Structure 1
Amino acid sequence: MEFNSELMKKFSNCFSPSGRENNIRNLIKEEIKDYVDELTTDPLGNLIARKKGNGKKILFSAHMDQIGLIITHVDEKGFLRFSNVGGLHPKELLGLRMIFDNNLEGVICSEELKDKEKLTMSKLYLDVASTSVDFVKNNFQIGDMCVFKSEYYETEDCVICKAADDRIGCYILIEALKNHPATDNDIYYVFSVQEEVGCRGAKTAGYGINPDIAIALDVTATGDSPDGIKMDVKLGGGAAIKLMDKSLITHPQVKELLTNLSIENNIKYQYEVLEFGGTDSGAIHMTRTGVPSGVISIPTRNIHSSGEIFNKNDVLECIKLTISITKS
């Protein structure tokens, strides 16, 4: 199995921030429609692909949405004020270019800061490169969203792109679905909405499907770069089996299952303890009377930035582990 660069590039470049997932949902739908027994979109917008069976009900979930900004005010000079959609820090935004769904762009600038004044979101604004107030007011309005503008780039072993969180998880589910093995299990591949603002889609999908086991596919941080994070996960270390984050302590039987499957199928793996953040499994495992849940994590540097980095071989190991779960 080889890494499909063309598909991942298409996913990374697709404009679909939280609550506006229509574009990526349509791309995924076209990609998988010939490989599923049933394909539905639920009322909240989750895309749910099913491979029917009479055995164990297994739910996989990867979220379609990406972080972004939402316009809150257009001032009298034609500059745009904004708030974040998902986790973003002001100091990491200054100078970045953003793109809207209409392909218009802007650059994030800051007001002048007084002595010892901290940079906050309220000090930032978007300059959309026009001196015409009418142009601005005719093309931008309150509620418009924008996302990072950055180019997709690959080396022999790694990828730099925006929206790896969590388009790479969606990519893994699609490749697993295309290579779906013969199994009696009833498998649901969920491409969820609004994870970046509270795992909302996963919560409703988990409730509706009511699975026997749930596995999220999502990125995780690494400790192999000088950014201050102290953890054992590294690029090239294989699929990361999550043990805990702020939303989930992995069910012991799920941890054992993922570990044993990795060993039995010669899948390279590493354990992950993340001291912040959460995934779709954090919401799913508390639905109804509870769902044993876990996470296959993709080691990723620079999460929630315009240049997230992951290793292609780690992705292939995650695909193999996902496929092995369908037969478990």
Structure 2
Amino acid sequence: MKTMFARLKKFIYAPGVSGDEGNIASVIAADIAPYVDKVYTDAMGNLYAFKKGTGKNPKKLMFAAHMDEIGFMVSFIDERGYLRVSKMGGINYNAAAFSEVEFRSGLVGVIVPEARTAAKDFRPEVFYVDIGAKSKKDAERRVKIGDTCRIAPRLIRLAGSRVAGRPIDDRIGCLMLFEAAISAQHFENDTYFVFTVQEEVGVRGAKTSAFSIAPDYAVAVDIGGAGDIPNCAPFEVVLGRGIAVKLKDGMVICHKKMIEAMKSVAEAGNIPIQYEVLESGGTDTCMLQQAAGGCVAGALSVPTRYGHSAVEVIDMNDVSGGVKILAGLCGTRFE
């Protein structure tokens, strides 16, 4: 568990706002390369780690987790040196208000709403970033239009096996793919561990990577929700009771064959699982399912409190169970 925490922290501290994932991609590529047969990227920036299957009739199995995180892009610099920014992904401005931000260059600032703006009136156009610049020229020596920034990363230990921080979405999925790649005892199928780009702005990287691979079977890994916080809507999934096997969300109905395959691995390994049913939202799964002629697609969701905030909370025991299921799928003979 200590090793997983350390690697998660390493992944979290590597920047990777949507469309600017080069840094986190380099970190993952360097770490996973010794454990797979080939590491490469495509034109869009998706990172692939390929492991050749040893089965007599290997299928193409694809695992996907997105590298990108929500953030901001500089769109305007005013005469006083304040930065206006365009959102990259689904920003919760109540959560983002009065937070520290950091740029890929190491520059830091704070994102704040205009003076006398009530919380009920928070919207993108009333927010700006203060980097401490004295003027437009001063700011332009440090940033330029198009630079990206993110809410400052953090990872802390809570009680027991729980941790909090950001961007757990979806560096935890990236960690799970990595851990599965290094722990799987057998690769029955040609297995692609794909770390996708631009999920937060429209599941774009999953579309191109899945089209390129044309997998027979695929699993996306991302965060989910949690129904164990005060005043939340009724929801079956809670922290600490196991990884969640997705049944449906607003963009996908998972294939029963993949659901059963994950269930079988869980039962064989005495791994606790939960089942996730969502009314809305979506992950890379929908693009995996629709690629080329389609494939048998499913998803694992890490039960998560306070998603898209600076204090996303997960239970690492749920994560460990999910890794075991992914590793088990690596050795599964699909018909």
Normalised by the length of structure 1, the TM-score is 0.95
2:212 aligned counterpart, secondary structure: helix
Deviation, structure 1 residue 253: 1.4
User: 1:114/1:293 Cα in 2 relative to 1: closer, same or farther (>3 Å)?
Assistant: closer
How much has 1:91 moved relative to structure 2? 2.3
Report what 1:100 is aligned to: 103
Spell out the pairing of 1:237-252 with structure 2 (5 A cutoff): 237-252=241-256
Give the SS at the match of 2:245: strand
Q: What secondary structure does 1:301 align onto?
A: coil
Residue in 2 aligned with 1:118? 121
Distance across 2 between alignment mates of 1:198 and 1:256: 28
What's the secondary structure of 1:4's corresponding residue? helix
Which is further off, 11-20 or 155-164? Answer: 155-164
Match of 1:110, as an amino acid? P
In the alignment, the residues of structure 2 paired with residue 292 and residue 10 of structure 1 have an alpha-carbon distance, to the nearest angstrom, of 32
Counterpart Cα distance in 1 of 2:311 and 2:108: 18
| Equivalent residue number for residue 52 of structure 2 | 52
Shift of 1:3: 4.9
**Unaligned regions of 5+ residues in structure 2, if any?**
none
Q: CA offsets per residue over residues 129-169 of structure 1, 9 Å max, x none?
A: 23244221211221111011143211331111211111000
TM-superposed CA distance for 1:115, in Å, is 8.3
Contact map agreement 1:220 1:274 (CA 8 A) in 2: no
Deviation at 1:59, TM superposition (A): 0.4
> Taking structure 1 as reference, are residues 262 and 126 closer, same or farther at Cα in structure 2, changes over 3 Å only?
same
1:275-310 per-residue CA deviation (whole Å, 9 max, x = no partner) reads 222111111111112111110111111111111111
Q: How far off is 1:227 after superposition?
A: 5.3
Matched with 1:287 is 291
Corresponding position of 2:28: 28
1:13 corresponds in structure 2 to 13
Q: Give the corresponding residue for 1:308.
A: 312
Asked whether the equivalents of residues 94 and 119 of structure 2 are also in contact (C-alpha less than 8 Å), the reply is no
SS of residue paired to 1:294: strand
Q: Does residue 43 in structure 1 map to residue 27 in structure 2? A: no
AA at the equivalent of 1:8? L
Report matched runs for 1:1-328 at 5 Å. Answer: 3-53=3-53, 54-113=57-116, 118-155=121-158, 156-226=160-230, 228-328=232-332
Q: Spell out, residue by residue over 1:195-238, the C-alpha distance to the aligned partner (whole angstroms, 9 max, x if none).
A: 11111111111111111111001110111112534311111011
Q: What percentage of aligned pairs have identical amino acids?
A: 38
CA distance in 2, matches of 1:114, 1:122: 11
Superposed CA deviations along residues 254-277 of structure 1, whole A, max 9, x for unmatched, are 112212221122111000112222
TM-superposition CA deviations, 1:58-81 (whole Å, max 9, x none): 100011111101111111111111
The 8 Å contact of residues 58 and 186 in structure 1, kept in 2 or not, is answered as yes
Q: Match for 2:140: what amino acid?
A: K
Amino acid at match of 1:298: V
Moved over 3 A (4+): 112-117
Q: 1:42 is aligned with what amino acid?
A: D
Contact residue 184 and residue 328 of structure 2 kept, 8 A: no
Q: Quote how far apart the aligned CAs of 1:2 are.
A: 5.8
Paired with 1:318 and 1:228, the residues of 2 have a C-alpha distance of 25
Residue type matched to 1:34 in 2? P
Paired residue total = 328
> How large is the Cα RMSD of the aligned pairs?
1.7
**Distance of 2:19 and 2:106 partners within structure 1:** 18
